[in-house]
């Protein structure tokens, strides 16, 4: 009877050690791919062109002696606002001052957020 108890206690000890080693082992959790989560870039500038057919716009910004030009596409997930009110893509006009947050998806720059500056802000 003592031998059976000793064997059972030994087996329980082995299982305890094995389960502890598995519990301590570091587990790597891979976050889901979120295309809008990382790599967001921003440009603040003037709208040079709006293409309603391609659903894209061109924003220019002067940096030193250079003029930087960024073409961004707009999709159904793009949030467009002016004065904290939701707007549509057709509300964007050439000459508007905008802040565009965008990222690169499939070799294309896609706008995540577009904030149209109000007329009083853009005249400053």
Write out pLDDT tens, residues 17-34. Answer: 777 666 655 555 555 555
Q: What are phi and psi of 66, to 5 degrees?
A: -100, 155
pTM for the complete prediction? 0.64
Identify the burial level of 102 via C-beta atoms within 10 angstroms of its C-beta, where 0-12 means exposed, 13-18 middle and 19 or more buried: buried
Helices (H), the chain: 2-24, 119-122
**Looking at the predicted structure, is the pLDDT value of residue 124 above 80?**
no
How high is the pLDDT of residue 44? Answer: 94
Q: Which residues contact 69 (CB under 8 A, 6 or more apart)?
A: 48, 58, 59, 60
Phi, psi of 90 (to 5 degrees): -70, -10
Q: What percent of the chain has pLDDT over 70?
A: 81
Q: What is the pLDDT of residues 70-105, one digit of tens each?
A: 999 999 999 999 998 999 999 999 999 999 999 988
């Amino acid at each position: 009877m003592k031998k059976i108890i000793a064997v059972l206690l030994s087996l329980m000890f082995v299982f305890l050690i094995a389960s502890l080693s598995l519990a301590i082992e570091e587990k790597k959790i891979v976050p889901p791919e979120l295309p809008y989560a990382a790599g967001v870039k921003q440009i603040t500038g003037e709208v040079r062109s709006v293409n309603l057919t391609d659903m894209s716009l061109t924003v220019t910004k002067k940096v030193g002696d250079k003029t930087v030009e960024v073409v961004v596409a707009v999709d159904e997930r793009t949030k467009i606002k002016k004065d904290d009110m939701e707007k549509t893509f057709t509300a964007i006009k050439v000459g508007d001052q905008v802040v565009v947050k965008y990222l690169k998806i499939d070799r294309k720059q896609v706008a995540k957020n577009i904030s149209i500056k109000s007329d009083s802000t853009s005249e400053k």
